[in-house]
Structure 1
Amino acid sequence: MTGSLRERWTSGRSLRFRVTALVLLVVALALVVIGVAVDLSLDAQLRRDQQSRLDDRAARAGLLVASGTTGTALVDAVDGQGIRAVLLDASGRRVVAPADDPGPPGRPPRAGPGHGRPGGPDLARTVTVPDGTRLLLSVVPGENDAVLARLRVVMTGVGAIGLGVVAVALLAVVRVALRPLDDMTELANDIAAGDRGRRLHPERTDTELGRTAAAFDGMLDALETAQVRAEDAAAEAQRSEARTRRFLSDAAHELRTPVTGVQTLAESLVRHPDADLARRERIATTLVRETRRAGALVADMLELARIEDGAPLERREVDLAELAAAEAERTALLAPALTVRVEGPPTRVWADPSRVAQILANLLENARRHGPAGGTVRLEVGTDGDQGRLDVVDDGPGIPEQDRERVFDRLVRLDDARTRDAGGAGLGLPIARALARAHGGELRAVDNDTVHNDTVDNDTMDKDTVANDRGARLRLTLPLSP
């Protein structure tokens, strides 16, 4: 039943109306309680005043009786000002009464309120007269009722006026107090219409509405952040899908050449089984080479996929300069015409040494392919903040600024004219960058700090020419050992 009443009360009514009605109800109840308390207090005070006056008149009557005053003189002396005096005989009948007493002479006095006695036991006094009569003093009936009735009329009028003033004041105060809710409604409508940058920004957050507004702003920020993240994720998914499609297309194109060559060579062997031995050996050698090219490309693609899927790393503290020296020695054995120098102090990094060696091998192979025959490659080791740094610097044609990020894309070769054997499949640098990022580091192409002033005239050479004369500088960064 209570729930049904609450539902009927709250359904279809605004919060402003409910707050105003509830406050007015509380104020009305408070006024009723105050009015009842004032009424009872005033009634008790008036009764105490009547009792005090009765005691004074009884004392005065005693003095008059002691001085010999009796009969009508005695009654007239103490009657008046809300006190009525009646002289009774021994049987209780009137002997002398005031002129305004409603009862006829000889009739017993009417019983007042309380215990059947005139005026009640606390509002009546009796004084014995020596001639056998009794003087009865009592309050005039209804004296307090008139005062209390006027008070009740005044309190009712004042209460009604007060409730009206409180209602008007409440309407204004509640409107101001609930204005943040109107602001929230307006803001919600604006956001629904597309204006999603607005916020409430409450001045105080230690109040209920302030906390609500702050929570509302926080919710909007969270929703907007989630939307931005979702949009970024969708865009990244689209870019990833485009990269995947491009990668598959390029991979298919790269594999087409060696597979076609293998197919052609195999068909040649089948069609000419009686060819001379030298021709058969050349075909077999070429067949093996094409097969290795296809196998190497597939192996690189699988390696890149494993790295991006989070292949585990066996990290430990290693010396980056020592790894660079070991890889330089290996390269010198494979390419004796290439000069590799290692520069820099020992630098302890937290990394998988075999994976770092793979990164360096790819970088040195890239420098060997693009540098001049008999060129020089420098491995410069150092630190950069909390990262260990290794720069691979060659004296080749360099990387134009607009291509310094593109060279790390899969299957990208900047020189489309060079042979595939010389240029490789374009997966060495992407694998090296993926391994660097798996360690929490980075691999990027940066400006070469070494400018050959004796061969380059900065006033006459354009930017690309200067960059080419500088050579390429690939910078590897890895976390320092903790």
Structure 2
Amino acid sequence: MALGVSADYRSLAQHLLESFASGGELRCLAVYMALSDASGLLRLEAVACWPAGLQRLPESLGDPALQVPEQGRRWLPLRNGHHLLGALLVETAALAWPDSFSQQLGHLATALATARTLDLRCENTLLDLEHLRKQQAEQEHQLAALIHQMRNPLAALRTIAQLLRRRLDQDSEQHRLATSLLDEGQQLERYLKALEQLPRQRLSTELEQPRLLPPFRSSQVDGQLQERLPPLLRRARSSCEASGHPWHQPRDLPRWRGDVDAVAEILANLIENALRYAPSQAPIGLCWSTSTRTVQLLLWDGGPPIPELERERIFHQGQRGTAGAGHQGTGYGLSLGRQLALSLGGDLTLVTQPQLFCSEATPEGNGFLLTLPTSPQTIPTGATQTKP
């Protein structure tokens, strides 16, 4: 696509010529830009001139009048490095130019060339932006189709799990596994709804404020932690049993009320990390404690402590520790977890002596401590700490 000359550049060039021209023996100033025609051949066309509206100025260098040498006429190239952008035409009544006048014209030519370079960059950026908008629209269409198609197998799995649970003894281990399948199906349905409700923000040239990454949750759910965490803990127990990790969990859960989906998302990421990186047979567990100001939940494992130099870096977006080599992962889980914790008024930190916080934990390992501010429903009367 051929790039033209913007109205802003034409206006700027005109102002520069008018501010430079101060009468005297100067007869004419004109700015010509290198443009391509329909066949792709370059041509030079006038985009600004002084005096404004000069009738005798040829519109193109193809005019024979500009190809005949004339005393008092000179051309100054407008360059960006080795690229010729255009030319500045100067006509004076004087045959000899003082050095100071030549220097001033050189500065004018540099300013015009620099402005044209920026004009081209801006136009290229707008073209790229339009291309990205088209790509975004196509990706949104594909995403909508994919979400629609995912609901069919999800509904089938949910039906199968419901039928299995009806045929099983409620006290059996298989009944618990079928219930876990239904819990996971509900979580997948929440993710699909969140994907559907993502705001379709069009690409623009305006700067935006940083936002939580990714903006996957369409709304905050105010609920009781005691009601939200059991499905997650059932999943953790089943996953640990399948992978050979001893699992430890508390007998009860803290009475905390707030954005329980955010807390569950943080803990789910921590559990998946422990399952992925902890050595075989290393124990994994959850414990919690409360004080007058905070509720703390510790997800720990008995693997080798994360090296000291990596203990803060792993919380940065897209960063992974050396233990992540050879494992699938994006490096977003801990970054997202800390952002969510901060959005709740808390924090997510790493401790490498989890037994100091939990008696059943290993003396050394990795413990991710989620700290949350208390709410009026958090601490039962007379209770200060609950251990696994």
| TM-score normalized by the length of structure 1 | 0.30
Q: Which structure shows the higher helix fraction?
A: 1
Larger Rg: 1
User: Higher strand proportion, which one?
Assistant: 2
TM-score by length of 2: 0.37
